[in-house]
């Protein structure tokens, strides 16, 4: 029976796929660490990866939040600018309309006046 000593736990185990994972480059075509150690290592790594992810999130949370805030500020600024320019545009259109039709207001006033006068005459 071929045996292999795990480089991690240094326990001599049967050199089969039951105790060591397959690895072409390893002795007997198996990994140098036994499956148990590999499992612990993988779990540790998973925990490490998870905590790294958590830490990354914690580290970047502030930054991401502030970036999001900045970005929304940017959007608000754009909206404000657009509203201001729209307001300016409408004012311009109104002014142009008034400039083109300077007598519109006066005409209306006169019509009302005429109506009133007619009524007054009719009453007399």
Of 5-13, 20-28, 76-84, 115-123, the window that binds Zn ion (rule: CB under 5 A) is 5-13
- Bridge partners (DSSP) listed for residue 5: 12
- When asked if residue 8 is in the footprint of Zn ion (CB under 5 A), the reply is yes
Least Å distance, CB 66 to Zn ion, is: 47
- When asked if residue 30 is in the footprint of Zn ion (CB under 5 A), the reply is no
- When asked if residue 113 is in the footprint of Zn ion (CB under 5 A), the reply is no
Calculate the alpha carbon distances from 54 to 13, 67, 123 in Å.
Answer: 37, 19, 90
Fill in the DSSP letter of residue 16.
S
d(CA 112, CA 118): 10
Q: Give, as ranges, the residues between 78 and 107 that touch Zn ion (CB under 5 A).
A: none
Least Å distance, CB 24 to Zn ion, is: 20
- Bridge partners (DSSP) listed for residue 22: 30
Least Å distance, CB 21 to Zn ion, is: 11
For 24, phi and psi rounded to 5 degrees? -55, -40
| Closer by beta carbon to Zn ion, 39 or else 109 | 39
Q: Identify the residue among 9, 49, 64, 93 touching Zn ion (CB under 5 A).
A: 9
Greatest alpha-carbon pair distance for the chain in Å reads: 135
In the complex, the residues that contact Zn ion under the rule CB under 5 A are: 6, 8-9, 34, 37
């Amino acid at each position: 029976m071929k045996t292999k000593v795990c480089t991690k736990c240094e326990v001599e185990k049967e050199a089969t796929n039951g105790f060591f994972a397959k690895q072409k480059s390893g002795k007997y075509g198996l990994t140098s660490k036994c499956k148990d150690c590999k499992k612990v290592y993988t779990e540790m790594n998973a925990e490490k990866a998870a905590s790294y992810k958590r830490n990354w999130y914690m580290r970047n949370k502030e930054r991401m939040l502030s970036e999001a805030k900045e970005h929304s500020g940017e959007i608000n600024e754009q909206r404000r600018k657009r509203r201001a320019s729209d307001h300016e545009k409408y004012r311009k259109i109104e002014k142009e309309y008034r400039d083109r039709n300077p007598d519109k207001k006066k005409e209306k006033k006169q019509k009302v006046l005429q109506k009133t006068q007619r009524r007054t005459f009719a009453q007399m």
